[in-house]
Amino acid sequence: MPFSQQFMDNPKADRVKRVASLRQASVRRRLGLFLVEGPQAVREAVAYMPERVHDVYIDTSHNPHDDIISSALEAANPIYLHHVSTKVMEAISPDAQSIAAVVSSEGLIRTLDDIDLNPLNTEFSEIGSTSSDNPEKNYQPQTDLIVACWQARDPGNEGTLIRTADASGCRAIILVDDSAHPLNPKVVRSSAGSLFHIPVIQASTEEFFAWAEKHSLPIWAADIHGTQEHAPYDLVTVLADRNSGLVKPAATPIMLFGNEARGLPTEIVERAGRAVMIPLYGSAESLNLAMSGAVMMYSIAMAQHQG
Amino acid sequence: MPFSQQFMDNPKADRVKRVASLRQASVRRRLGLFLVEGPQAVREAVAYMPERVHDVYIDTSHNPHDDIISSALEAANPIYLHHVSTKVMEAISPDAQSIAAVVSSEGLIRTLDDIDLNPLNTEFSEIGSTSSDNPEKNYQPQTDLIVACWQARDPGNEGTLIRTADASGCRAIILVDDSAHPLNPKVVRSSAGSLFHIPVIQASTEEFFAWAEKHSLPIWAADIHGTQEHAPYDLVTVLADRNSGLVKPAATPIMLFGNEARGLPTEIVERAGRAVMIPLYGSAESLNLAMSGAVMMYSIAMAQHQG
């Protein structure tokens, strides 16, 4: 039975220290493992990628987490469940909300060539449906859009963008250049499990533009400035045109977001070739990155689904 | 000249302690003052409500903040500018990013009866236009929508909702029941100055429903469950109907959001009478409160502006 009989109550035990050390990037890289904290993220890891989950640590004094435990017990490969004391859980992570998992990172973050560019198969579109044969492949994109963010540095923002890209049914999310690492615990936590649904890709700036060009995918820069030659399109106008490249795409469009503090540099907007901006109706100067992402992705998804 | 000649470099000075103590709710209440941190929020306070700003504390070793200084010097009433050392700034607030202001709270948070329900005056709609005669009244709503949140507890979420309500041009935002206090420094900071633009109201649950009923304003609960009698409307469907109550309102609609962890209780959704939900296209279980707010407010604003 994949259930550790021993109750772990020593916060200074070697195993506890080892798990806690996964909060460091260097340890994660060396061991090929990462830490998943909190019920939402652990539940999705167990449900979508059970074969990646090595161990789950649970402090049941705060929350029984029965649904996660039963899913873990039913997984094809054994997931080891460890009951731990509150002190042990605190030593593992102060942000775990009484449950954490150690998960294999090998191959989880994909490359550009892994992105499926075939026409969307909306027949297979039952939300949340799972295929037990191939649990890693059950994400069904519903919206013909790829999201990319360039130098997103704040892990909370980046995790939220991953969650929104998933909720809005995008094909994939690409983290371009020096963005926050997607296996940083705060990214994982704020993605609320979406990291285990939607394909997440890392790429350099050059790789990103070369790949988009190779597949003739139009890049739209989310930017209020545009370039000297190209003023930004207004999102409302682009979406009102039912034949526009964001509503009825001939090729999958990519929406590229910039850094939370500085946005996109002009040369990147120029390479993208077209910019689109969210109108500001009140007196606010701007929206933050996570808000802009939500507005852009969802308004495009809804426009495509409205048909 | 409203400029303190003395450089403040003693982090233990009484004045520094007094300013820092404004991080406590009880001190804010007693003194009728609150702390505004960071360049974006201070800039908007000085630009929109100069007569409320008592003192501005600046650590120019990190950032000259010339634009804020010159606006403060040009204000009709003197704003006292104090140059301070980095250590003093840290003692005032670790989150100030080298600039903070002490601002009067008297009457800043309004009541329900202050909400302007007259038809939108879109002729006066120049964004960012200011009337120097009456600088407190230069927010011009552009979208016929009022936002309300019920028991929003996370200050960062609440501040972001205030910012989004402003950006999307809503009439006002109502904090219902036991929501985070709008003058909590984290709310002020994450509102990025929008607290000084859009009217922010506090009201009890009973006051809120009584006021909406008195003015016959329809309340839409942002909720994926609805009630036994009323399944939630799909946002896409409601917005596709160009004559719906959210796109061409006969009376200003109110969009009511619930608590970030628990949503809205059924009895509140029932009192609202109608619910609307954001479709989930991918595998994510939900969006967080700030994301839902951005998607709802902006999709309604854009639908109204698309006409």
Residue of B nearest to A157 (CA): B291
**In this structure, what token pair is assigned to residue B74?**
């040009």
DSSP states along B141-152: --SS-EEEEES-
Mean pLDDT calculated for residue range B157-164:
96
Residues 6+ apart with CB under 8 A from A210: none
Looking at the complex, does the CB of residue A165 fall below 8 Å from at least one CB of chain B? Answer: yes
Residue B261: exposed, middle, or buried by beta-carbon count in 10 A (0-12, 13-18, 19+)? exposed
Q: What does the alpha-carbon distance between residue A177 and residue A209 come to, in Å, rounded to a whole number?
A: 11
According to the model, what pLDDT value does residue B2 have? 62
- How confident is the prediction for chain B on average, in pLDDT? 91
Pairing of strands A99-104, A53-58: antiparallel
Q: How many A-B residue pairs are in contact by the CB < 8 A criterion?
A: 161
Cβ pair A278, A290 in contact under 8 A = no
Residue B62 to chain A, least CA–CA distance (Å): 16
pLDDT-based confidence at residue B123 (cuts at 50, 70, 90): low
**CA-wise closest residue to A172 among A151, A150, A152, A202:** A202
Looking at the complex, does the CB of residue B126 fall below 8 Å from at least one CB of chain A? Answer: no
Identify the residue among B278, B288, B298, B305 best suited for mutation to test binding to A, counting A beta carbons within 10 A and taking the highest. B298
**CA-wise closest residue to B115 among B17, B239, B29, B200:** B200
Residues of chain B neighbouring A240 (CB-CB closer than 8 A): 306
**Tens place of pLDDT for every residue, chain A, 307 residues?**
466 667 899 999 999 999 999 999 999 999 999 999 999 999 999 999 999 999 999 998 887 888 888 888 888 777 899 999 999 999 999 989 999 999 999 999 999 999 999 999 765 444 444 444 444 447 899 999 999 999 999 999 999 999 999 999 999 999 999 999 999 999 999 999 999 999 999 999 999 999 999 999 999 999 999 888 889 999 999 999 999 999 999 999 999 999 998 999 999 999 999 999 999 999 999 999 999 999 999 999 999 998 6
Looking at the complex, does the CB of residue A65 fall below 8 Å from at least one CB of chain B? Answer: no
Residues of chain B neighbouring A162 (CB-CB closer than 8 A): none
Please say if the pLDDT value at position B132 is more than 50. Answer: no
Contact state of B163 with A139 under an 8 Å Cβ cutoff: no
Residues of chain A neighbouring B194 (CB-CB closer than 8 A): 282-284
Nearest to A291 among B48, B160, B279 (CB): B160
Contact state of B279 with A197 under an 8 Å Cβ cutoff: no
Q: What does the alpha-carbon distance between residue B75 and residue B69 come to, in Å, rounded to a whole number?
A: 10
Contact state of B288 with A138 under an 8 Å Cβ cutoff: no
Nearest to A284 among B141, B194, B299 (CB): B194
User: Which is more confidently placed, B112 or A133?
Assistant: B112
According to the model, what pLDDT value does residue B5 have? 65
Residues of chain B neighbouring A170 (CB-CB closer than 8 A): 282
Q: Which residues 219-258 of B have a C-beta within 8 angstroms of A?
A: 235-236, 239-240
According to the model, what pLDDT value does residue A60 have? 84
| ipTM confidence | 0.91
According to the model, what pLDDT value does residue B129 have? 42
Q: Of A51-60, B50-59, B67-76, which gets the smallest average pLDDT?
A: B67-76
According to the model, what pLDDT value does residue B248 have? 96
Cβ pair B196, B225 in contact under 8 A = no
Q: Which residues 38-57 of B have a C-beta within 8 angstroms of A?
A: 40, 48
CA distances B179 to A222, B151, B152, Å, are 33, 4, 5
Q: Of A142-151, B11-20, B70-79, which gets the smallest average pLDDT?
A: B70-79
Please say if the pLDDT value at position B232 is more than 90. Answer: yes
Pairing of strands B53-58, B99-104: antiparallel
Residues of chain A neighbouring B240 (CB-CB closer than 8 A): 306
Residues 6+ apart with CB under 8 A from B230: B273, B274, B275
Residue B163 to chain A, least CA–CA distance (Å): 7
Residue of B nearest to A261 (CA): B40
| Matching residue, tokens 């989004």 | B164
According to the model, what pLDDT value does residue B122 have? 67
Residues of chain B neighbouring A287 (CB-CB closer than 8 A): 163-164, 167, 294
User: Which is more confidently placed, B200 or B122?
Assistant: B200
Q: What does the alpha-carbon distance between residue A142 and residue A298 come to, in Å, rounded to a whole number?
A: 12
Please say if the pLDDT value at position B62 is more than 90. Answer: no
**CA-wise closest residue to A99 among A46, A28, A147, A176:** A46
According to the model, what pLDDT value does residue A206 have? 98
Q: What does the alpha-carbon distance between residue A254 and residue A165 come to, in Å, rounded to a whole number?
A: 12
Residue of A nearest to B234 (CA): A302
Residues of chain A neighbouring B143 (CB-CB closer than 8 A): 281
**Sheet containing A172-176: which strands, arranged edge to edge?**
A200-203, A172-176, A146-150, A254-257, A219-222, A273-277, A233-234
**In this structure, what token pair is assigned to residue B280?**
């989930």
CA distances B148 to A299, B85, B255, Å, are 22, 41, 6
Task: State whether residue A180 is helix, strand or coil.
Answer: coil
Q: What does the alpha-carbon distance between residue B191 and residue A288 come to, in Å, rounded to a whole number?
A: 10
Residue B296 to chain A, least CA–CA distance (Å): 9
According to the model, what pLDDT value does residue A228 have? 84
Residues of chain B neighbouring A40 (CB-CB closer than 8 A): 285
What domains sit in chain B, N to C, each tagged with a CATH number?
A: 14-104 (3.30.1330.30), 112-306 (3.40.1280.10)
pLDDT-based confidence at residue B88 (cuts at 50, 70, 90): very high
Looking at the complex, does the CB of residue A119 fall below 8 Å from at least one CB of chain B? Answer: no
Looking at the complex, does the CB of residue A307 fall below 8 Å from at least one CB of chain B? Answer: no
According to the model, what pLDDT value does residue A122 have? 66
Nearest to A160 among B165, B192, B288 (CB): B288
pLDDT tens for B259-281 read 998 999 999 999 999 999 999 99
